[in-house]
């Protein structure tokens, strides 16, 4: 593995970047969740060459068919109109820049340079005129840059560097002169950059190499590829020049990969695509380089996006199917990525925190199907996933692959049914699987032989399992396995005799189970067994007397249970019992007074169905609901909600599909796979976007003659 020879401050920055961001991104699957903005969502064209975020908070996107202003909700498109002289001079936008005065400059292909007046929403054009020597040298504007002296530089496709005088509106040209060895070296200029540490030096990328322009002497030094020198520039076409926070200069070439430039020795280290190395750069045609505020370096190539792990000199290929043309980070920390034909991809780190695992039709080692009913991590650290109709999945976290166990009618020792509602491991390390269907029931898994034993259901034999549809499983502290069924009550498994004892509802017995559909079974720290039912409320089981004490909703009493369907039960570290209901929100049970306190939509919950409850190391409760995931702080009774826009598998989660890993990760499943996340990685975005009035309307009609205030 190639190692970088870092500059003085590089190692500290690398370590900081890895500590802040790498754990939540480099350890993930190769695809990262993006939002997509394209023509279907209002973008004028899917070829997004350049992106910037301006001082007003707008995102500007230059496409091959118009300039787009995005306000977070929709697009306003500016285009060339031959009948309007102060319209945009051309629709093919190649470069964008906002200067120190907040003025937006727009470089077009064949239309020259434009200066945008925000108040009038008109454009002042600067174009090449062969009769005016001090006009723009060429109408194909490739790049725009403002140096430390507030001088505006414009790179044009004819190989000229244009210096703009704002007072006289004149341009001074710097180009290749074969009679002058210190002139600009190149016939086409692609990129410009000024180093903060070298304020009088402008770096210029051309089709002939890299140029260092001394602004004082107005001379150029050339860096060219040399086949005899392995430490020279890797390729002549320099498309991207980027300086990171440590002062390291990165050079992207169009055919020679990524180069690291050592200023002291004036040598280059190359990072190129290797077909035999999946951790190499995805492609040697580098179009854009960008370092985000966490210190991570993004490299956009002709074959997708790469994240560069500088400590190991390795690349993580994030996206394969897009030719990335531009990358920009807005003030909220979101990354915007323009592609060639794929519109704009928007990436928020919060979305990367919620790892999403789903079925991939092109990958036989992916999750077998997307509807998840059960999740369980065993003592060996293996994650087991129960699906609807897709069987049982064993997830290998290291390889990111799934091994599936399914019912095979030709094999009596296969899984009895492919719909899995519940999973538990007993004190001996045996995995128990609750399935559903005509041939479903309870399964015991033999890990060594990878076989399943099925337990019979005989209607008239009370020592057998009462139902073939198992909704819930619980192993208590003494090792007893409790089985909750869909329609035939509660079962206790007698290990020694391998028989079952049934507990069912009896209308003539007020101490019997309140109803026969069992959604949840939970043993608390006091050894009390709690049973959550469908429409029968919560049952407290007295094991010595074998009697059930029900708690039910009373519409006349607000201190009773808010709803009679209990989907999940959880006891927190302080001994408080929490209940997730189907339609009544979250309930807290006061054991001493035997009263309930409920939390609903008005309190901040996103939905009244609570499908799973887990607790993090700070004492917060994480709730999976019918409308996303909610973090509840019991101390100040506040909720923070997350939805599909944050990277969740969907907004719909299923009862029973939740567990906490031994490392503290939360795992929740729903109708589109499951999410894994570490609560400590989730940071609230405190960025408050600026408010800008973009239009005035009277009675839903835009007021004529009135301009918006920005």
pLDDT digits (tens, 9 = 90+) for 654-676: 999 999 999 999 999 999 999 99
Instruction: Identify the pLDDT of residue 698.
Output: 53
34 vs 258: which has the higher pLDDT: 258
Sheet of 638-642, strand order: 610-615, 621-625, 628-633, 638-642
pLDDT of residue 709: 43
Give per-residue pLDDT as tens, 42-52. 999 999 999 99
Band (pLDDT 50/70/90 cuts) for residue 685 is low
**What percentage of the chain reaches a pLDDT higher than 90?**
78
Query: What's the pLDDT score for residue 32?
Result: 53
Contact indicator for 132, 167 with CB cutoff of 8 Å? no
- Residue 19's pLDDT is 28
pTM exceeds 0.85: no
Calpha distance 654→607 (Å, rounded): 13
* Mean pLDDT computed over every residue of the chain: 90
- Distance CA(375)–CA(624), nearest Å, equals 13
Distance of alpha carbon 346 from alpha carbon 356, whole angstroms: 17
What integer pLDDT is reported at residue 17 of this predicted model? 31
Q: For residue 103, how many other CB atoms are within 10 A of its CB?
A: 17
Q: What is the pLDDT of residues 500-549, one digit of tens each?
A: 999 999 999 999 999 999 999 999 999 999 999 999 999 999 999 999 99
Average pLDDT over residues 123-149: 96
CB proximity list for 564: less than 8 A, separation 6 or greater: 533, 535, 536, 537, 552, 553, 581
pLDDT at 617 over 90: yes
pLDDT tens-digit series, residues 189-207 = 999 999 888 888 999 999 9
Residue 269: CB atoms within 10 A of its CB come to 17
Give the DSSP H/E element, type plus range, for residue 351: helix 349-353
Residue 675 contacts residue 661 (beta carbons within 8 Å): no
SS3 labels along 403-452: EEECCCCCCCCCCCCCEEEEEEECCCCCEEEEEECCCCEEEEEECCCCEE
Q: Residue 260: phi, psi to the nearest 5?
A: -105, 125
Q: Which is higher by pLDDT, 197 or 5?
A: 197
pLDDT score for 166: 95
Q: Give percent above pLDDT 70 in the chain.
A: 90
pLDDT of residue 706 exceeding 90: no
Helices (H), 3-141: 10-20, 22-25
Q: Which segments within 646-702 are labelled E, that is strand?
A: 653-660, 666-670, 673-677, 697-698, 701-702
User: pLDDT band at residue 708, thresholds of 50, 70 and 90?
Assistant: very low
pLDDT band at 174 (very low <50, low <70, confident <90, very high): very high
pLDDT at 400: 86
The more confident residue out of 379 and 691 is: 379
* Mean pLDDT calculated for residue range 101-111: 96
Taking 50 as the threshold, does the pLDDT of residue 215 lie above it? yes
Q: How confident is the model at residue 700 (pLDDT cuts 50, 70, 90)?
A: low
Tell me the C-alpha to C-alpha distance, in Å, between residue 446 and each of 255, 377, 410, 414: 55, 17, 18, 11
For residue 410, what pLDDT is reported? 95
Contact 631, 604 (CB under 8 A): no
pLDDT digits (tens, 9 = 90+) for 51-74: 999 988 899 999 999 999 998 889
State the Cα–Cα distance between residues 44 and 68, nearest whole angstrom: 7
pLDDT value, residue 305: 87
- The answer to whether residue 120 scores a pLDDT higher than 50 is yes
- Going by pLDDT thresholds of 50, 70 and 90, the confidence category of residue 21 is very low
When pLDDT is cut at 50, 70 and 90, the band that residue 28 belongs to is very low
In the predicted model, is pLDDT for residue 13 greater than 50?
no
pLDDT at 77 over 60: yes
What pLDDT does residue 459 have? 87
DSSP assignments along 379-406, one per residue: TTS-EEEEESSS-EEEEETTTTEEEEE-
pLDDT of the residue at 409: 94
């Amino acid at each position: 593995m190639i190692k970088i020879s870092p500059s003085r401050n590089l190692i500290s920055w690398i370590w900081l970047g890895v500590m802040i961001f790498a754990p939540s991104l480099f350890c993930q699957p190769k695809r990262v969740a993006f939002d997509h903005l394209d023509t279907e969502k209002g973008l004028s064209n899917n070829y997004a060459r350049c992106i910037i975020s301006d001082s007003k908070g707008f995102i500007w996107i230059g496409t091959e068919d118009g300039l787009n202003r995005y306000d977070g909700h929709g697009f306003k498109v500016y285009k060339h109109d031959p009948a309007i002289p102060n319209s945009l001079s051309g629709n093919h936008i190649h470069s964008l820049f906002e200067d120190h005065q907040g003025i937006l400059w727009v470089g077009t292909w064949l239309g020259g340079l434009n200066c945008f007046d925000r108040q009038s929403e008109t454009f002042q054009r600067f174009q090449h005129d062969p009769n005016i020597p001090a006009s723009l040298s060429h109408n194909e504007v490739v790049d725009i840059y403002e140096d430390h002296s507030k001088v505006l530089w414009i790179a044009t496709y004819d190989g000229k560097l244009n210096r703009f005088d704002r007072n006289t509106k004149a341009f001074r040209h710097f180009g290749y002169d074969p009679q002058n060895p210190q002139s600009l070296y190149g016939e086409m200029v692609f990129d410009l950059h000024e180093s903060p540490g070298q304020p009088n030096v402008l770096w210029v990328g051309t089709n002939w190499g890299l140029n260092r322009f001394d602004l004082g002497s107005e001379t150029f030094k050339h860096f060219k590829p040399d086949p005899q020198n392995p430490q020279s520039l890797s390729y002549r076409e320099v498309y991207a020049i980027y300086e990171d926070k440590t002062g390291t200069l990165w050079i992207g070439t169009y055919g020679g990969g990524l180069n690291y430039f050592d200023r002291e020795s004036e040598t280059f280290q190359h990072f190129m695509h290797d077909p035999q190395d999946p951790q190499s750069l995805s492609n040697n045609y580098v179009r854009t380089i960008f370092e985000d505020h966490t210190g991570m370096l993004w490299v956009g190539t002709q074959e997708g996006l790469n994240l560069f792990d500088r400590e190991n000199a390795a690349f993580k290929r994030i996206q394969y199917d897009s030719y990335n043309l531009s990358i920009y980070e807005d003030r909220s920390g979101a990354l915007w990525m323009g592609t060639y034909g794929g519109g704009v991809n928007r990436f928020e780190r919060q979305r990367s925190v919620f790892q999403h695992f789903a079925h991939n039709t092109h990958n036989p080692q992916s999750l077998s199907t997307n509807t998840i009913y059960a999740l369980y991590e065993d003592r060996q650290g293996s994650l087991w996933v129960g699906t609807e109709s897709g069987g049982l999945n064993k997830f290998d976290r290291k390889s990111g692959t799934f091994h599936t166990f399914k019912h095979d009618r030709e094999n009596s020792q296969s899984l009895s049914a492919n719909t899995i509602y519940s999973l538990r491991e007993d004190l001996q390390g045996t995995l128990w699987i609750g399935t559903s269907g005509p041939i479903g029931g309870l399964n015991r898994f033999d890990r060594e032989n990878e076989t399943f034993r099925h337990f019979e259901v005989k209607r008239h034999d009370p020592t057998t399992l009462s139902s073939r549809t198992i909704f819930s499983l619980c192993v208590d502290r003494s090792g007893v396995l409790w089985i909750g069924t869909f329609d035939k009550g509660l079962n206790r498994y007698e290990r020694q005799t391998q028989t079952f004892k049934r507990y069912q509802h009896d209308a003539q017995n007020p101490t019997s189970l309140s109803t026969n559909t069992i959604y949840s079974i939970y043993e608390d720290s006091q050894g009390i067994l709690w049973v959550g039912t469908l429409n029968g409320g919560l049952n407290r089981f007295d094991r010595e007397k074998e009697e059930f004490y029900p708690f039910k909703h009373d519409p006349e009493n607000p201190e009773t249970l808010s709803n009679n369907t209990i989907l999940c039960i959880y006891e927190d570290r302080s001994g408080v019992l929490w209940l997730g209901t189907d339609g009544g929100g979250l309930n807290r049970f006061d054991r001493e007074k035997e009263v309930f306190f409920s939390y609903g939509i008005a309190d901040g919950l996103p939905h009244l169905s609570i499908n799973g409850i887990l607790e993090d190391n700070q004492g917060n409760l994480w709730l999976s609901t019918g409308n996303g995931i909610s973090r509840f702080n019991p101390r100040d009774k506040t909720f923070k909600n997350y939805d599909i826009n944050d990277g969740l598998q969907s907004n719909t989660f299923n009862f029973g599909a939740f567990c906490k890993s031994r490392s503290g990760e939360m795992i929740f499943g729903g109708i589109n796979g499951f999410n894994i996340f570490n609560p400590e990685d989730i940071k609230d975005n405190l960025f408050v976007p600026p408010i800008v009035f973009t239009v005035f309307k009277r009675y839903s009609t835009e007021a004529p003659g009135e301009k918006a205030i920005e």
